A and B are shown apart, each in its own frame.
Chain A
Amino acid sequence: MTTRSVSAFLAPRRRLQLAGLLTPPVLWLGLVYVVALAALLVTAFWTVDELTGQVQIEWTTDNVVEVLTEALYRTVTLRTLGIAVLVTVLDIIVAVPVAFFMAKIARPRMRHLLVIAVLAPLWASYLVKVYAWRALLSSEGLIEWAVSPFGLDTPGYGIVGVVLTLSYLWLPYVIMPIYAGFDRVPDRLLEASADLGAKGWTTLIAVVMPMIRPAIIAGSIFAFSLSLGDYITTGIVGGTTQMLGNLVYANVGAANNLPLAAAISLIPIGIILLYLAAVRRTGALRSL
């Protein structure tokens, strides 16, 4: 059969075309990802043999009950949520003016340079950037050197360090969708608003903000979700601070208790799914 005859056969059959297009990606994501996730959820209800450390198919709700009732998990969940929310808010506050300047004030040539300048640090390894922050925050580091003349101290390794480092890491991910959002707001609309007598601020609040809300939410998904699962940054600049990711990691690695790790990971999964469900209608998922 030649491509021509395949094409002629398919041309009037829209459903078949759709099936052909959709099957490979959905099959891939379904088989690789959904099955894996489902298996993980099931594992949360299994146990570990205390002697051999092997996972046993013995149904129990112990892990989930432990995660839901023990104070440790509540504290760490609240801390993780707090850090993730703080990082997200900080990033949005910094990203909005920068993205606005890039999209609406900078001239085209400058705009291209700015986009490259914002994106380039994404290619400098994540780990190296965290390591740089470890150096910045250390008691012999640049921050201590810069603030000690004013009688201040470096925040050192702890929650503040984690928040600063995570905000730094995800900032480009937040700037880019918001920049794209501002870029999609046509100048005509802003002129119309001004012609109708709106001041700059009124235009910004009443016209621009509603239009870029999906973009801001898209950016927030990155910052929030990436913060929620992080354990490497916490390990390097967090001192003794523990986040949910650290608890999961400890149970997969050292403690070798996959069922408990799976039960803990239900918390971030639940939080993210709630968040995605809440923002789904805004069209933010398409602005990622």
Chain B
Amino acid sequence: MQIGRVARYVLGTITLVVLGLIYLPLGVVFLNSISTSETLSWPPPGFTLEWWGKALHSEGAFEALGMSVMVAVAASTIALVLGTLAAMALSRYRFFGKESVNLLIVLPIALPGIVTGIALNNAFRTLMGVQLGVWTLIVAHATFCIVTVYNNAFARLNASGTRLEEASQDLGAGLFTTFRLVTFPHLKSALLAGGLLAFALSFDEIIVTTFTAGPGVTTLPLWILQNMFRPNQAPVVAVIAVILAVLSVVPLAIAQRLTAKDAEAVSR
């Protein structure tokens, strides 16, 4: 499309301003992590590294971080398996009720978290009679993570078509061999992207978590919620947030590079 010079500059400026606005609150969090003010007053009255020292010695935060990573890994693993199976079924087969299955996969993320939260809480405790614990939390997270894996896998399977798989079977490869040597290599980066998104979704979730984590199960968001309004802990929370935001760039960059490369290879 012929995009005029003016339009380019206008759109570029808008993008720049929006990015600036996206990072402004994060910048405030960073300043708060080194500010001597505990109540986030502006401009910061002075600077200190006290909070960073405290954060690095905060056992609660690191235990919560470990719990969050564990839950997110378990939930995304389950979501990877179930999401891939569903994507294979919906992209490679025709059957009645396809739309309903699609809706079923989307529903846990489309319905408000508090609805999912109390529905699962009620089901675990009264229907199934199980104690809330780590497992109930993992099951809940896996349920709403399936959709991210499914969507990524489904889009890739649709884009790559079935010709290669048919060729593989014509050459005598069985179903599992075809999946292992033809379908899966094509799908790998989409699964990584979907899995990463599932991990991020689970890692940061607070509402469903509030209702499905047992006593003593403290994920990082729960820890943050408990500590955010304590005067001495608020800046420590800010430190943890800054560390997470900076660390997150690494997996994102990897996933972005992989999917871009693969998408090019597939569409060629």
Check A97 against B119 for contact (C-beta < 8 Å): no
Check A117 against B115 for contact (C-beta < 8 Å): no
Asked if A288 meets B244 with Cβ closer than 8 Å, knowing A36-B123, A37-B119, A123-B252, the reply is no
Give the distance to chain B from A46, nearest Cβ to Cβ, in Å.
11
Q: Which residues of chain B are near A229, meaning CB under 8 Å? A: 111-115, 207
Total contacts A to B, CB within 8 angstroms? 294
Check B206 against A124 for contact (C-beta < 8 Å): no
Count B interface residues, CB 8 Å. Answer: 101
Chain A CB within 8 A of B265 CB: no
Check B113 against A132 for contact (C-beta < 8 Å): no
A14 to B95, CA, bound (A): 11
Asked if A228 meets B237 with Cβ closer than 8 Å, knowing A125-B204, A125-B220, A126-B221, the reply is no
A171 to B26, CA, bound (A): 14
Check B224 against A128 for contact (C-beta < 8 Å): yes
Q: Which residues of chain B are near A22, meaning CB under 8 Å? A: 85-86, 89, 95, 101
Q: Which residues of chain B are near A231, meaning CB under 8 Å? A: 114, 207
Check A29 against B154 for contact (C-beta < 8 Å): no
Chain A CB within 8 A of B73 CB: no
Chain B, range 112-135, C-beta contacts under 8 Å to A: 112-116, 118-123, 126-127
Q: What is the interface of chain B mostly: helix, strand, loop, or mixed?
A: helix
A269 to B104, CA, bound (A): 14
Asked if A24 meets B81 with Cβ closer than 8 Å, knowing A32-B143, A112-B257, A112-B260, the reply is yes
Give the distance to chain A from B2, nearest Cβ to Cβ, in Å.
5
Give the distance to chain B from A36, nearest Cβ to Cβ, in Å.
4
Residue interface mask A110-150, B partner, CB < 8 A = 1: 00101111111111111111011111101011101100000
Count A interface residues, CB 8 Å. Answer: 101
Residue interface mask A251-288, B partner, CB < 8 A = 1: 01000001001100100110010001000100001111
Check B15 against A98 for contact (C-beta < 8 Å): yes
Chain A, range 145-174, C-beta contacts under 8 Å to B: 145, 168, 171-172
Check A120 against B249 for contact (C-beta < 8 Å): yes
Asked if A125 meets B224 with Cβ closer than 8 Å, knowing A3-B176, A142-B42, the reply is yes
Check B104 against A34 for contact (C-beta < 8 Å): yes
Chain B CB within 8 A of A221 CB: yes
Pairs across A and B, CB under 8 Å, 29 listed: A11-B169, A24-B82, A26-B86, A26-B104, A29-B146, A32-B140, A40-B118, A112-B253, A112-B260, A114-B19, A117-B22, A121-B23, A124-B248, A127-B206, A131-B237, A135-B32, A136-B28, A140-B40, A187-B1, A193-B1, A225-B109, A229-B112, A229-B113, A232-B207, A245-B112, A248-B118, A261-B118, A262-B122, A280-B99
Residues of A within 8 A of B (CB): 3-4, 6-8, 10-11, 14, 17-18, 21-22, 24-26, 28-30, 32-37, 39-40, 43, 55, 94, 97-98, 100-102, 104-105, 108, 112, 114-129, 131-136, 138, 140-142, 144-145, 168, 171-172, 187, 190-191, 193-194, 200, 203, 221, 225-226, 228-232, 245, 248-249, 252, 258, 261-262, 265, 268-269, 272, 276, 280, 285-288
Closest 8 CB pairs of A and B: A229-B112, A123-B248, A7-B174, A135-B40, A190-B1, A36-B123, A128-B241, A124-B245
